[in-house]
């Protein structure tokens, strides 16, 4: 861990709602809700009335009757995200994307060419405003955890630098909910014991926290309350392949529909991981294990790298279809998928036509929605055999 505060956490403010306000002047300064059924994003004017992401639209309208509700425009958000990440990559060679609208940037050793971390953060905020037209908040600290806390505290449209000698003075007065990993359940347990601030967590022995919260959560909170976070900004996760597999059990032959459902689940998961890492793949390999323990692989290499679920799925389905006589004969007990020949996202962009395929924007937004609402929240239309579109469940009030 560096001795200087040189990790930036950059996070767009109320991302979807800010894009709407950017593109439609009549929405500026007004409470704006992006959604339909549920709130996908709320402008700060709407948040001031208590409107929150994932709330039902009905509840949001009760809280803020003057809110203007607009439908999501997926492609615009995906385009804005691409440009924002281009600015991130121009700002620092080490960028670790966390989601569609936030990233860590490591700016150690850049003082001579770009100034202090604070100078770099000021410039980054100005560049995003100029090139993308959106407000972004940046937290700067020595650890990733603290940089993320700093940006959350500085929102909206802010900049907060936590110098190394002021870390605990900054951290300890904050409510425990600011600690990464403290959800409602953990917060309730701590509040029941009269613990409300990070400082009150910090005075407890690790063993005490473990007895309250369990081993993993106790150790985690103890470390964070003392600002111990050794994680590096991982901008160079250069993995050669990613893979996953599903055991199918040894009993009874599987129907083609059941095999396809397993394949879809694998593709969904890996394509999401690929995009989260901002990579693309060219080679898709199906791994099969049969009831007699023999194995086979089938693979196909695409002309261009892709991170699109639909492209990976259709290739995987062709590979599975080609193997189906063997599967029928020997019985399949394990289905695996590996994505290899990984490229970075920039290479993919060059290969794309000017007008990006709508599947690409759809994937990005589905990932974002799943990250926010949980993996089960959004069902890809292909699973339902319906027309492409978003299926967003109604959440309880
Ligand atoms: Mg954000």
Average pLDDT over residues 73-96: 88
In this prediction, residue 339 carries a pLDDT of: 92
Q: Report the separation in Å between the CA atom of 210 and the middle of ligand 1, taken as the mean of its atom positions.
A: 32
pLDDT value of position 366: 66
Rounded to a whole number of angstroms, the distance between the first and last alpha carbons of the chain is: 43
- Report how far ligand 1's centroid is from the alpha carbon of 18 (Å): 10
pLDDT category of residue 387 using cuts at 50, 70 and 90: very low
Q: What is the pLDDT of residues 48-67, one digit of tens each?
A: 999 998 888 999 999 999 99
pLDDT at 389 over 60: no
C-alpha span between 39 and 27 (Å, rounded): 16
Rounded Cα gap, residues 281 and 306, in angstroms:
5
User: Is 57 one of the annotated active-site residues of the chain?
Assistant: no
Query: Which range among 47-51, 119-123, 378-382, 388-392 shows the weakest confidence by mean pLDDT?
Result: 388-392
Tell me the CA–centroid distance for residue 136 and ligand 1, in Å: 8
- Structure confidence by residue, pLDDT tens digits, 1-35: 567 899 999 999 999 999 999 999 999 999 999 98
* pLDDT at residue number 348: 44
DSSP states along 228-256: ---PPP------SEEEEEEE--SSSPPPH
Helix, strand, coil shares of the chain, percent, nearest 5, are 45, 20, 30
Ligand 1 center to residue 320 CA distance, Å? 39
Q: pLDDT value at position 1?
A: 54
Q: Mean pLDDT highest for which of 137-146, 231-240, 265-274, 383-392?
A: 137-146
Burial class (CB in 10 A: 0-12, 13-18, 19+), 185: exposed
**Is the model's pLDDT at 177 over the cut of 80?**
yes
For residue 200, report the distance from its CA to the centre of ligand 1, in Å: 28
- For 129-171, what is each residue's pLDDT tens digit? 999 999 999 999 999 999 999 999 999 999 999 999 999 999 9
Whether 117 and 4 have beta carbons less than 8 Å apart is answered as: yes
Residue 352, pLDDT score: 33
In this model, does residue 174 exceed pLDDT 70? yes
> Could you write out the DSSP letters of every residue in 172-198?
TTSBGGGSTT--HHHHHHHHHTT--BH
The candidate with the shortest Cα–Cα distance to 307, out of 238, 370, 360, 354, is: 360
- Do residues 144 and 9 make contact, with C-beta atoms less than 8 angstroms apart? yes
- Compute the distance between CA of residue 68 and CA of residue 336 in angstroms, rounded to an integer: 46
State residue 396's pLDDT score: 26
Q: Considering only residues 243 and 205, tell me which one the structure prediction assigns the higher pLDDT.
A: 205
What band does 393 get if pLDDT is binned at 50, 70 and 90?
very low
Least confident of 35-44, 171-180, 240-249: 240-249
Ligand 1 centroid – CA 15 distance (Å): 6
Q: What's the maximum distance between 2 C-alpha atoms anywhere in the chain?
A: 68
Q: What is the pLDDT of residue 291?
A: 85
Of residues 247 and 376, more confidence is placed in 247
- Closest residue by Cα to residue 131 from 97, 173, 87, 73: 87
Indicate if the pLDDT at residue 379 is higher than 60. no
The DSSP code for 2 is -
> Higher model confidence: residue 277 or residue 38?
38
Backbone phi, psi, residue 30, to 5°: -110, 155
What does the pLDDT read at residue 353? 31
Per the model's pLDDT, the better-predicted residue between 233 and 200 turns out to be 200
Q: What is the pLDDT of residue 305?
A: 86
The tens digit of pLDDT for each residue in 325-376 reads 999 998 898 899 999 888 765 444 333 333 334 455 566 666 766 666 555 4
State in Å: Cα 99 to ligand 1 middle: 8
Among candidate residues 20, 102, 268, 368, the one labeled active-site is 102
Mean pLDDT, all residues of the chain = 84
DSSP letters for 2-34: -SS--EEEEEESSHHHHHHHHH-GGGTTS-EEE
Mean pLDDT of 181-206: 93
Return phi, psi of residue 34, to 5°.
-100, 125
């Amino acid at each position: 861990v560096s001795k200087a505060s040189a990790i930036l956490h950059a996070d767009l403010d109320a991302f979807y709602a800010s894009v709407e306000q950017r593109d439609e002047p009549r929405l500026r300064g007004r409470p704006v809700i992006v959604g339909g059924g549920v709130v996908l994003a709320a402008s700060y004017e709407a948040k001031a009335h208590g409107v929150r992401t994932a709330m039902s639209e009905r509840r949001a309208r009760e809280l803020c009757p003057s809110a203007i509700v607009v439908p999501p425009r997926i492609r615009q958000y995906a385009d804005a995200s691409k440009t924002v990440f281009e600015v991130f990559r121009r700002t620092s060679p080490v960028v670790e994307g966390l989601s569609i609208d936030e990233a860590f940037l490591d700016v150690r050793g850049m003082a001579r060419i770009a100034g202090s971390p604070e100078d770099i953060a000021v410039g980054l905020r100005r560049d995003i405003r100029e090139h993308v037209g959106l407000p972004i908040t940046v937290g700067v600290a020595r650890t990733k955890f603290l940089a993320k806390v700093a940006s959350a505290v500085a929102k909206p449209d802010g900049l907060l630098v936590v110098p190394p000698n002021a870390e605990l003075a900054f951290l300890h007065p904050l409510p425990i909910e600011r600690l990464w990993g403290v959800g409602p359940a953990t917060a309730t347990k701590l509040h029941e014991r009269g613990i409300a601030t990070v400082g009150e967590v910090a005075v407890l022995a690790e063993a005490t926290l473990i007895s309250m919260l369990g081993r993993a959560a106790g150790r985690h909170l103890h470390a964070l309350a003392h600002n111990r976070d050794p994680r590096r900004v991982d901008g160079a996760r250069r993995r050669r392949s990613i893979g996953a597999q599903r055991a199918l059990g040894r009993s009874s032959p599987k129907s083609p529909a059941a095999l396809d459902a397993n394949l879809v689940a694998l593709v969904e998961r890996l394509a999401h991981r690929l995009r989260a890492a901002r990579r693309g793949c060219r080679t898709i390999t199906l791994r099969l294990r049969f009831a007699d323990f023999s194995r086979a692989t089938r693979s196909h290499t695409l002309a261009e790298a892709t991170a699109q679920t639909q492209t990976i799925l259709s290739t995987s389905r062709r590979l599975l279809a080609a193997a189906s006589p063997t599967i029928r004969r020997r019985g399949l007990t394990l289905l695996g998928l590996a994505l290899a020949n990984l490229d970075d996202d920039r290479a993919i962009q060059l290969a794309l036509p000017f007008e990006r395929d709508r599947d690409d924007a759809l994937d990005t937004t589905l990932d974002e929605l799943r990250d926010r609402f949980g993996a089960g929240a959004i069902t890809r239309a292909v699973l339902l055999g319906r027309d492409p579109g978003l299926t967003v469940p109604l959440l309880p009030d």
